């Protein structure tokens, strides 16, 4: 069975122990609200309500004002019957109706979850603390709790958690009231009058009383001060009394013992089991197998009608004040053997076929009583087996305090019986429960001990379950177990990779004069190697390895396809037809030399693959001869780097390899993509940023091969034929070229270019 509890998904496993993991986002259930709750889950009371109409109206008015009421009174005064009647009267008083609960043996956390479950439909779901607190603040109901087991500050906290609820509770005299004054108003009903007591007795036996019975009932009313329970028991005695009997009727002190002797043997055997269990009574379905009487279920109904059993939650227990009288009557003999029989019967029943959660919940109190009292009687092996069978069933129920009690008692019994396998199971379950409670230190201790025991016993599957739970504890402690809010589940990485990646830093290279501005080139990330990690990464499961192999193969194929596409693109860009040079040719030796020395950058390759723009008019022929001395003394102006890879150039002058008289070559210019191409008028288009005139060789490479100012960004400047690396002069960018008469003396040939980019 799987159960969503808070941020965890709990898988209840009675063999190896429960598994727990972070709940995937898609597994969180939708919790719809129920309709208003008005029906009481309590069994109907056999006692008629007499002289209680005024009390019922007063209690309803107090609850309608939003106040909480403590219904006080002595045991047997009819508090439970009055509580049921008021609950029916308040069915339409609150939006969520009436929530009727039993407080016997329940902790404050149990009651919070019970209130939540009464309003919400929660199959296989147990809300976490945050979800529970938010939901309780939205519940508006009249909460009726019979026989609440706690008070004081814990009761104050329950009231604070449910500000829109009004409470009507009953409690024993030893339960303290809330600390805050005015939070709970006490109300104590009066006892029945003599007339009402006699009427109740006649209604219970179904006939009028004779004179002797009337006198006896009057004396009983005086002794009990009108307690309804005593008159219910007196009616049971009169029903089982033989007609015409002359034996005197008992007084109030011996009433219970006399009634027990008048009951059938099957009913008395049920009372013996109830005494052995400390007052708790197994359900009617369990009694025939326990007592050996096939009609034990009918005898159970006889005891309820006789006032010896009273309602307690979904079951019954001995009526208040009855246990000491039954012990005095000798019904406690043989309790140890009966406890062993109850433990063995429940072990068989819980280990059988599928059981409804409600059936186990109804048997929770006698089940826990059997575990505690059988352990005290020395039946440790039987208690360990019973707790092992009951723990998974109680984990699936609403009362996790009962689950915890069973685990604690089972661990103690298994330790006394020296059963290590049982100890390992109980420690594992206690560790899982501690995880759900947020007690990580205790969870780590219990799971470590459980795993060690299972390793020593050779329980491989149990040890694996323990290590998985321990891994979750470590993930929670390190903050890695949180589920993303956007619904994407987290992906766990090996611990070695996580540690190395956290410690690795990316090396920062020193800035150079040729470094482009931020954003012009893609950043290069340094990936640290993990070969020297201290701890090797755990080996992935077989399914994960196969999945990784498939992904790697697909990635390799994709890279091969992309490489082929890029290669074809680069090859196609280099096969463009050469433009007409207007009759000017370049000597083969010079062209080969420039091509050999000038390395093509990736940016130039991308430019060559772009569609060619309209050809600009040919630049003027070669410029006058420039001597190396003049070039060396010429100071190159500062240029601001371009903000992007796109270059805007004017028609360049023919470039040579540095020698005078070299025929010029024609260079095509690609205009920027974001600007319109000017009409071809035969004149060079004006430049946005025109530098001052330069001397010949200014744009070419220096004698040490410094980066040139030509648009190509090569070693010597220019696009294809930059300056030679040995210091030859590049005059391709000179404004004094003689090819165009209009360009003489007018430095219009400018370039807006980016400095040379370092190749990574």
Domain extents in the chain:
31-187, 192-260, 261-478, 652-659+694-755
Residues 401/106, Cβ–Cβ less than 8 Å: yes
31-187 CATH choice from 3.90.1170.40, 2.60.120.620, 3.40.50.300, 3.30.1490.20:
3.40.50.300
Alpha carbon distance 685, 435 (integer Å): 76
Helix H segments across 29-176?
A: 53-64, 79-89, 108-119, 129-136, 153-161
Residues 574-591: tens digit of each pLDDT: 444 444 444 444 444 434
Q: Is 50 exceeded by the pLDDT of residue 384?
A: yes
Q: Is 90 exceeded by the pLDDT of residue 182?
A: no
Q: Is 80 exceeded by the pLDDT of residue 253?
A: yes
Alpha carbon distance 458, 215 (integer Å): 75
Q: Enter the DSSP assignment of 489.
A: P
3-state secondary structure 419-464: CHHHHHHHHHHHHHHHHHCCCHHHHHHHHHHHHHHHHHHCCHHHHH
**Pick from 42-56, 482-496, 549-563: least confident:** 482-496
Confidence of residue 344 (pLDDT cuts 50, 70, 90): very high
Alpha carbon distance 150, 127 (integer Å): 23
Q: Which of 608, 616, 611, 613 is nearest to 582 (CA)?
A: 616
Confidence of residue 481 (pLDDT cuts 50, 70, 90): low
Residues 187-245: tens digit of each pLDDT: 988 889 999 999 999 999 999 998 899 999 999 999 988 899 999 999 999 998 877 67
**What is the reported pLDDT for 12?**
94
**Pick from 80-94, 140-154, 641-655: least confident:** 641-655
Q: In the predicted model, what is the mean pLDDT of residues 17-24?
A: 93
Torsion sign over Cα 166, 172, 175, 181: positive
Q: How far is CA 539 from the centre of its chain?
A: 27
SS3 324: helix
In the beta sheet, which residues pair with residue 169?
A: 70, 145
Alpha carbon distance 234, 214 (integer Å): 12
Residues 311-323: tens digit of each pLDDT: 988 899 999 989 9
**What is the reported pLDDT for 73?**
85
The pTM of the whole model exceeds 0.75: no
370 by Cβ neighbours in 10 Å (0-12 / 13-18 / 19+) ranks as buried
Token pair, residue 24, equals 């995937």
Return mean pLDDT, the chain.
74
Strand-pair category, 69-71 with 19-22: unpaired
**What is the reported pLDDT for 546?**
67
261-478 shares the fold of 31-187: no
Token pair, residue 275, equals 């005494």
Residues 671/677, Cβ–Cβ less than 8 Å: yes
Confidence of residue 725 (pLDDT cuts 50, 70, 90): very low
Q: Is 50 exceeded by the pLDDT of residue 695?
A: no
| Greater pLDDT, 438 or 504 | 438
261-478 CATH choice from 3.30.2010, 3.30.43, 1.10.260, 1.25.40:
1.25.40
Q: In the predicted model, what is the mean pLDDT of residues 636-649?
A: 42
Confidence of residue 387 (pLDDT cuts 50, 70, 90): very high
Ramachandran area for residue 105 (φ above 0: left; ψ -120 to 50: alpha; else beta): left
Give the whole-number percent of the chain exceeding pLDDT 70: 64
Q: Is 50 exceeded by the pLDDT of residue 688?
A: no
């Amino acid at each position: 069975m799987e159960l969503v509890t808070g941020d965890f998904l709990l898988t209840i496993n009675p063999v190896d122990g429960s598994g727990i993991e972070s709940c995937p986002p898609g597994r969180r259930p939708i919790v719809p609200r129920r309709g208003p709750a008005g029906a009481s889950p309590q069994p109907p009371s056999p006692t008629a309500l007499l002289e209680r109409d005024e009390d019922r109206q007063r209690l309803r008015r107090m609850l309608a004002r939003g106040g909480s009421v403590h219904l006080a009174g002595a045991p047997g005064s009819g508090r439970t019957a009055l509580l049921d009647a008021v609950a029916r009267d308040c069915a339409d008083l609150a939006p969520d109706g009436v929530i009727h609960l039993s407080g016997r043996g329940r902790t404050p956390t149990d009651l919070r979850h019970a209130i939540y479950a009464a309003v919400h439909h929660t199959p296989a779901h147990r809300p976490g603390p945050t979800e529970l607190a938010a939901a309780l603040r939205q519940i508006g109901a009249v909460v009726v709790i019979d026989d609440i087991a706690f008070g004081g500050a814990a009761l104050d906290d329950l009231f604070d958690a449910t500000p829109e609820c009004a409470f009507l509770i009953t409690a024993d005299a030893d339960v303290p009231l809330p600390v805050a004054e005015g939070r709970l108003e006490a109300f104590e009903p009066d006892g029945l009058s003599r007339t009402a007591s006699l009427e109740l007795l006649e209604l219970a036996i179904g006939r009028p009383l004779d004179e002797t019975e009337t006198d006896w009932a009057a004396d009983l009313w005086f002794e009990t001060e009108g307690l309804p329970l005593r008159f219910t028991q007196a009616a049971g005695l009169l029903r089982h009394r033989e007609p015409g009997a002359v034996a005197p009727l008992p007084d109030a002190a011996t009433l219970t013992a006399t009634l027990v002797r008048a009951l059938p043997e099957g009913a008395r055997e049920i009372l013996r089991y109830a005494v052995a269990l400390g007052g708790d009574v197994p359900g009617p379905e369990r009694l025939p197998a326990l007592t050996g009487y096939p009609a034990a279920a009918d005898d159970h109904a006889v005891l309820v009608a006789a006032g010896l059993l009273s309602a307690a939650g979904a079951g019954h227990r001995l009526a208040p004040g009855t246990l000491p009288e039954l012990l005095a009557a000798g019904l406690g003999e043989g309790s140890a053997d009966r406890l062993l029989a109850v433990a063995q019967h429940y072990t068989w029943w819980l280990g059988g076929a599928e059981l409804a959660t409600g059936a186990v919940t109804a048997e929770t109190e006698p089940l826990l009583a059997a575990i505690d009292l059988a352990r005290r009687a020395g039946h440790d092996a039987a208690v360990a087996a019973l707790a092992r069978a009951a723990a998974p069933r109680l984990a699936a129920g609403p009362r996790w305090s009962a689950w915890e009690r069973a685990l604690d008692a089972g661990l103690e019994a298994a330790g006394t019986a020296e059963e290590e396998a049982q100890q390992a199971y109980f420690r594992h379950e206690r560790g899982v429960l501690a995880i759900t409670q947020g007690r990580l230190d205790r969870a780590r201790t219990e799971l470590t001990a459980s795993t060690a025991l299972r390793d020593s016993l050779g329980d491989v599957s149990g040890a694996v379950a323990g290590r998985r739970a321990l891994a979750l504890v470590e993930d929670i402690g390190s903050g890695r177990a949180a589920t993303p809010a956007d619904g994407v589940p987290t992906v766990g990485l090996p611990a070695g990779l996580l540690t190395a990646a956290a410690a690795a830093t990316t090396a920062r290279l020193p800035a150079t004069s040729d470094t482009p501005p931020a954003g012009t080139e893609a950043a290069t990330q340094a990936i640290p190697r993990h070969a020297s990690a201290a701890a090797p990464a755990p080996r992935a499961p077989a399914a994960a390895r196969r999945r990784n192999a498939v992904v790697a193969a697909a990635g390799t194929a994709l890279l091969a396809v992309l490489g082929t596409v890029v290669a074809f693109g680069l090859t196609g860009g280099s096969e463009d037809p050469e433009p007409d040079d207007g009759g000017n040719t370049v000597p083969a030796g010079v062209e080969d030399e420039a091509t050999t020395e000038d390395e093509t950058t990736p940016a130039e390759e991308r430019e060559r693959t772009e569609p060619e723009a309209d050809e600009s008019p040919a630049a003027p022929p070669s410029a006058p001869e420039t001597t190396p001395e003049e070039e060396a003394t010429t100071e190159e102006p500062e240029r601001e780097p371009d903000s992007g890879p796109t270059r805007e150039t004017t028609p360049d002058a023919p470039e040579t390899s540095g020698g005078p008289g070299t025929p010029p070559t024609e260079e095509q210019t690609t205009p920027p993509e974001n600007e319109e191409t000017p009409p071809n008028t035969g004149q060079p288009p004006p430049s946005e940023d025109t530098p001052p005139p330069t001397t010949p060789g200014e744009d070419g490479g220096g004698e040490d091969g410094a980066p040139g100012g030509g648009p190509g960004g090569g070693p010597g400047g220019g696009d294809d034929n930059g300056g030679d690396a040995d210091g030859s002069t590049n005059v391709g960018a000179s404004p004094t070229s003689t090819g165009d008469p209009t360009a003489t003396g007018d430095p219009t040939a400018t370039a807006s270019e980016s400095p040379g980019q370092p190749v990574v």
